[in-house]
Structure 1
Amino acid sequence: MSPVHWLFGDQLGPHFTATADGGTPRNTRWLLIESKAVFRRRRFHRAKAHLVLSAMRHRAAELGDSARYVRAETYRAGLAEAVGEAPVSVHHPTSRAALALTDALPQVTVHPARGFVTGRREFADWVAARGGRRLLQEDFYEHTRRTHGILMDGEGPAGGRWNLDHDNREPPPRDRATLGAPAPYRPREDAIDEEVRADLDRWEREDGIAFTGRDGPRLFPATRREALAALDRFVTHRLPGFGAHEDAMLAADPVMSHSLLSSSLNLGLLDPLEVVRRAEAEWRAGRVPLNSAEGFVRQVCGWREYVWHLYWHFGEEYRHRNALRHTAPLPDWFEDLDADAVTARCLATVLAQVRDTGWTHHIPRLMVLGSLALQRGWDPERVTDWFHRNFVDGYDWVMLPNVVGMSQYADGGLMTTKPYTSGGAYLHRMSDLCTGCRYRPGDRTGERACPFTTGYWSFLDRHRARLSTNPRMARSVQGLDRLADLDEVLRTHHATTTTAPP
C-alpha cells in the first residue's frame, strides 16, 4: 500500500511534498481534510475562510489523482473516512491544538516542521547557549543571519550594521495621498473560487455558520504560481521603496510598499529562505537599497522566526498571561468590524481595512488596533483571538506572541522591553489619519480630545507603579506629574470608554 501523507491547510507548498533532500517522493498519496468544525466553533473573517479553502482546493487539484480531498465535520472524521486506521504521516502542525490531535492519534507519525528557516532544535541550542540571558529578538536575528549566511559580508553584516531600522522610520510624504509605489500583485479568481464562495454562502444560509468582514474578490495568492508571481512583483517593483516608509500610514494607500506575502508564507506557498534570498539578490545586484532589503529580511527571518519559536518555547500557559490584569470584554462594534460606528478617523479607517480585506500592515495593527485595546484594558486573550480570526495571515502561532507579548504587554515584558502605545501625536506624525478627524491629536480634554491621547495618559496613570521602574517608560510616567489637568484627562477618557465608540 502506498504511504499516505496528510497536508494541513497551511502546508501547501512544494517543500511540504518533497523528500528531505528536496526530491519527489514515489507513490505517496496526499490527504487534505476540510473540517467544517473549524469554522463552526469560531467566527472567522469571510475573506480568510475563502482564502484558506481556495488554497486547499487548488492544491488538491494540482496534485491530481495522487491526492484525496475530504470534506468532513472534523479532522478525526475526515481521517477515518479517508484511511480508517491505516498509518499516516504529517509534518509538525503549526498550532498546539493540531499537534495535540496528531499526537493523540496512534496511527499518525509526526515529522519535523517545515516552512521556517530555523528548526526547533537549533532554537533550543541557541537558548541553552544564552545561559539564562534574555531571549532578545535582535540576538536571535543576528544568530539566524550568521548561521544561514543571510545578508552577510564575510563574518559581519552587510553594510556593517545588523539592524537598519533607524533608516526606516520616515513619516509619510505630506504632499500626496499615496506613496506612489507600483501596485501589488493581485490574483484572478477562477471556478474554484466561485465554488468556495457558493459553499460559504450555503454554510451561512443552511448551517448557521457566521463570519465577520467582507469577501471578494480574492486579494491574496491561493496557489504556488500566484505566490511566486506576488514575490516577483514585490522584489522587482516594490521592495526598492519599502524601507524608508515602513512604519508610515496613509488613509488612501493601505498597502504602500509592503510585500503582502505574509499570507503566502503562512499558507506554506512560499518558503521563507527563498523569499529572503530573492530580496538579498536584488540588493547585491544594486537594484534595491540595503535599508529596504534588510528591513524586509528582518521581518521574515528575524521577527517571523522569533515568533514561531517563542510560541512553542513559552508553552500553553502563555496564552493566559495577563500581567496588567486587563479583563474588559471587546465591544460589539469591534467584534463586528463596524467601522461606520467609529468617529476617530484613524480607527475607522483601519477597522474598515480589516472589514474589507482581512489585512492591514504591522503599524496599524500595533499602534491603532492593539494600542486601543491596551489603553482600554481589553482582555488580552480575547484580543488575541480577534486578531487570529480576522486577519488572512493570522494563525495561533502568529498571533499569540505578537498580541500577548508585543501588542498587549500581557507577559509583563518577557518578549518586549516596553508597552507599545502612544498618544495622538505619534499617529499624526506617522500618518495622515488625523487630517479631517473630529478629534485633535494635541487635545487632552474637551469635546475634541483625541481618544488615543486621553487613552495614553490614562494607561500610564493606571499602571504608574509598574511602568515607573521600566527604564524605557520612566520618563513618560514622569510626564504625568507635569499634567495640571490630569484629573480632567482621566474623566474625559472614562467618558469616552463607557459610552459610544471613539
Structure 2
Amino acid sequence: MKAVTRLILILGDQLDLQSAALKGFRRETDEIIMIESANEAQYVWSHKAKIALFLSAMRHFDKSLKDQKYPLTYIQESSLSIIEVLREQILQKKISHLVCIEPGEWRLKQSIEDLATELKIKLEILEDEHFYCSPQEFKKWVADKKEIRLEYFYRLMRKTHNILMDKDGNPEGGQWNFDQDNRKPYPKKGPGLIDAPKRFEPDEITQAVLGFVEKTYKNHPGSLESFNWAVTREQALEALQYFVEYRLRNFGMYQDAMWIDTPFGWHSIISSALNLKLLNPREVISAVLLAWKKDASLELSSIEGFIRQILGWREFVRGMYYLDMPQMALDNFYEHQRALPKWYWTGQTQMACMQDAVGQTLKYGYAHHIQRLMVTGNFALLAEILPSQVCDWYLAVYVDAIEWVELPNTAGMALFANGGRFTSKPYIASGAYIKRMSNYCGTCKYKPDIRFGESACPVTTLYWNFLIKHRTQFESSPRTRLMTANLKRISDSDQLAIQAHAQTILNNLDAL
C-alpha cells in the first residue's frame, strides 16, 4: 500500500480534467478526494435540481478520473461537512500536504485554511486557470479607482485577449458595446417558434441521483420532473454547439425579453456547465466567434452581447467577489429588514410576473438574467427585503448559482446593497417596464399603469414609494435625476396615497 502524503481536493464546481490541481500529479504519493456532503445542499435550502446537477456531474467526473486510472477516494452521500470529512481523511492517511483550486465560496476557503492551520499541514490553494482574469490581476486593475465599472474592465479584456478587435486595434464595428441593440421585447404576437435547448436523457448515474435526491431531499423546493442539464464534459460541448447553431442568431436581440411559459427564450443555457467547469469560457467564445466568421447573417450586436456576458460581466463579478469579501455578504446600504415573502418558495402569488418567474425557477432551477434582475430582484429591492435572505434564495434555487457569481449579482447589482460600489445606480423599474418587456401584465389582476389602490400593480406602487423615500439620493446623481423628476408630475395628495398604499403592501407581502 502506497504512502499518500499529498491530498488533492476537487470540489463539485471544479470538474475540469485540465485543472491546475491535476498538473504534475504524482501517482506514487498523491491521491484525489471528492466529497458529497449533505451540508452543501442544506446550508441554504437548495433546489432539488441544483442538488441533482452537482451530484450527477460529480459522479460522472469521478468515473472520468477512474477511467484515467487516477487514485481517488470518492465519499458518497456523507452526512458530514466537507471539512469534517477532510479532517478524518487527513488524520487517517497522515496527509502532510493539501492541494485545492481556489474555492468559489468564501466560507469554504476560510474553513479549509482554518483546517490546515489546526492540523499543521501544508496548504496549497492554486489559481483557477478556468478564468481569463485572476483575482490578483483584477485587484491590480482596480488599484485606487474612484469608480469601478464593467465597461472599462471589459474594454481591457477585449484588448488584452484580442477578442472582437480589428487589425488596427479598434473594436469590431467601431464601438465597444451594442447593448442598445439588445433590448427588444418579443413581437406583440409572441416569440414564435424557438428552438428548444438540447435535451439529454438521464443515464444510469443520473437516474440513480434523481431517485436519491427525491427521496433524501423531498422537502426541498423545486421539481426534478424537467431535469435536463448537461452533467458531463461531452454533453456540455453538445449544448454549446447546439446553442451556436440554432439559438445564437436571436440571442442578442431578445436576451431581455420575457413571455409567459417561455422559460429559456433564445438563451444559451450553458451557465451551469461553465460554472461547474465542464466548459471553459475560452472555448465558448471561440465557438461563437467561429460561427460569426462562417455565417454572415449573424449580427455583430448579438455576438458582442453574448461575449460581453462571458468575457466582461462574468469575469468582472468574480473579481469583485474576491476583492470585497467577506464585507459583500454583510452590506445593507438601505438597511432593509423585511422577511422574504413565502411565495418566493412556492410561486403562489397573484402577480403574474412573479408567478411566472418564480414558477419556472421552481420547475427548472433556471430564470434568465432579466427575470432575476428586473422581476424577482427588482421586487425584493422595492419591497425592502433583507439582502442576506434574498441572496440565500438566489443561491438556493438556481442550478448555476455558486457564491462567487451569485452574490455580486444579487447583493451588488439587483439589491444595491453595497451602495453602488460597482454599479452607477439602483436597478429599479415600475410595472411599465415589465409590461414593455413581456406579456405578463395582460393576464394579471394588477394594472401596471395604476399607482395606488386595489388594482394598482404592487411593483408600480413600491417603485414610486421607493423614489419618494430616497428622492435626495436619486436627485444627487445625473444617472437617476430623471427618475425623480417624474415625481413632479404626481400631485402631493397622490404621492401621499402612494406612500399609504405602499405601506399596506409592505405590511402584507405574503398576501400579494
> Does the Cα contact within 8 Å between 1:423 and 1:453 map onto a contact in 2?
yes
1:179-235 per-residue CA deviation (whole Å, 9 max, x = no partner) reads: 423211121112212222232244347xxxx41111234221111111000000011
CA drift at 1:81:
4.6
Q: How does 1:88-103 map to 2 (within 5 A)?
A: 88-103=98-113
| TM-score, normalised with respect to structure 1 | 0.93
Task: Check whether the contact 2:261–2:356 (CA below 8 A) recurs between aligned residues.
Answer: no
Aligned to 2:475: 468
AA of the residue aligned to 1:279: V
CA–CA separation in structure 2 for the residues paired with 1:193 and 1:470:
51
The match for 2:284 is 275
8 A contact 1:47–1:357 mirrored in 2: yes
How far apart are the structure 2 equivalents of 1:453 and 1:167? Answer: 26
Query: Is residue 407–residue 420 contact of structure 1 (8 Å, CA) maintained in 2?
Result: yes
Report the equivalent of 2:181. 167
**Matching residue within 235, 242, 245 for 1:226:** 235
Q: Which runs of 5+ in 2 are unaligned?
A: none
Report the 3-state secondary structure (helix = DSSP H, G, I; strand = E; otherwise coil) of the residue aligned with 2:34.
strand
Distance in 2, matches of 1:169 and 1:202, equals 42
Unaligned 5+ segments in structure 1 are none
Deviations along 1:236-265, whole A, 9 cap, x unmatched? 111111111111111121211100111111
For residue 346 of structure 2, what is the aligned residue in structure 1? 338
Distance 1:18 1:88 in 2: 10
CA offsets per residue over residues 56-87 of structure 1, 9 Å max, x none?
A: 11110121152321133121332245453312
SS in 1 for 2:254: coil
Partner of 2:199: 186
SS class of match (1:30): strand
Pair 1:70 & 2:75 matched: yes
In structure 1, which of residues 28, 38, 41 is the aligned counterpart of residue 40 of structure 2? Answer: 38
Report the CA distance between 1:25 and its aligned residue. 4.6
What is the alpha-carbon distance in structure 2 between the residues aligned to residue 501 and residue 347 of structure 1?
A: 13
Q: Give me the whole-angstrom Cα distance separating, in 2, the residues matched to 1:134 and 1:40.
A: 37
2:338: which partner in 1? Answer: 328
Task: Tell me the SS of whatever aligns to 1:152.
Answer: coil
Q: Matched residues in 1 for 2:38 and 2:180: separation? A: 46
Q: How many residue pairs end up in the alignment?
A: 489
8 A contact 1:179–1:256 mirrored in 2: no
Correspondent of 1:57 among 56, 59, 62:
59
- Structure 1 residues 76-107: Cα deviation after superposition (integer angstroms, max 9, x where no partner): 33224545331231111111112112222134
Amino acid at match of 1:363: I
* Superposed CA RMSD: 1.8
User: Aligned to 1:281, what secondary structure does the other structure show?
Assistant: helix
TM-score, with length taken from structure 2: 0.91
Answer with 131-140 or 271-280: which moved more. 131-140
Deviation at 1:382, TM superposition (A): 1.3
| Letter aligned with residue 329 of structure 2 | R
C-alpha distance 123-41 of structure 1, shift in aligned 2 (>3 A)? closer
Partner of 2:439: 432
Give the superposition deviation at 1:468. 1.7
Output aligned runs, 1:384-423, within 5 Å. Answer: 384-423=391-430
Instruction: Assess if the C-alpha contact under 8 Å between 1:179 and 1:253 holds in 2.
Output: no
Query: 1:41/1:252 Cα in 2 relative to 1: closer, same or farther (>3 Å)?
Result: closer
Instruction: Tell me, yes or no, if the aligned pair for 2:236 and 2:279 is still in contact at 8 Å.
Output: yes
SS at match of 1:90: strand
Whether contact under 8 Å (2:49, 2:364) holds in the other structure is: yes
- Give how far 1:26 is off: 5.7
Give the Cα separation in 1 of the matches to 2:162 and 2:226.
Answer: 39
Structure 2 residue matching 1:31: 3-state secondary structure? strand
Q: Distance in 2 between matches of 1:270 and 1:50?
A: 19
Shift of 1:156: 1.3
User: Secondary structure of the residue that 2:440 maps to in structure 1?
Assistant: coil
Report the Cα distance in structure 2 between the residues aligned to 1:363 and 1:201, rounded to whole angstroms: 30
Q: CA contact under 8 A between 2:8 and 2:21: conserved in structure 1? A: no
Distance in 1, matches of 2:511 and 2:472, equals 29
Distance in 2 separating the partners of 1:19 and 1:434? 52
Task: After TM superposition, give the deviation of residue 7 of structure 1 in Å.
Answer: 0.8
Whole-angstrom distance in 1 between the partners of 2:17 and 2:200? 20
Say whether the 8 Å CA contact 2:21–2:101 is kept in structure 1: no
Find the aligned partners of 1:202 and 1:247 in 2 and give their Cα distance. Answer: 37
Contact kept, 8 Å, 1:60 with 1:68, in 2: the verdict is no
Q: What residue identity is the alignment partner of 2:319? A: H
CA distance in 1, matches of 2:444, 2:140: 51
Q: Aligned to 2:32, what secondary structure does the other structure show?
A: strand
Letter of the 1:56 counterpart:
M
CA–CA distance in structure 2, aligned partners of residues 412 and 271 of structure 1:
32
Partner residue in 2 for 1:265: 274
Quote the Cα distance in structure 2 between the aligned partners of 1:398 and 1:173. Answer: 32
Counterpart in 2 of 1:14? 17
Q: Counterpart amino acid of 2:340?
A: L
Counterparts of 1:135 and 1:95 in 2: how far apart (Å)? 22
- In 1: Cα distance, 2:268 partner to 2:207 partner: 26
- Cα offsets for 1:134-164 (capped at 9, x unmatched): 1110100111111111111121111111111
The answer as to whether partners of 1:388 and 1:395 remain within 8 angstroms in 2 is yes
Q: Which amino acid aligns with 1:213?
A: G
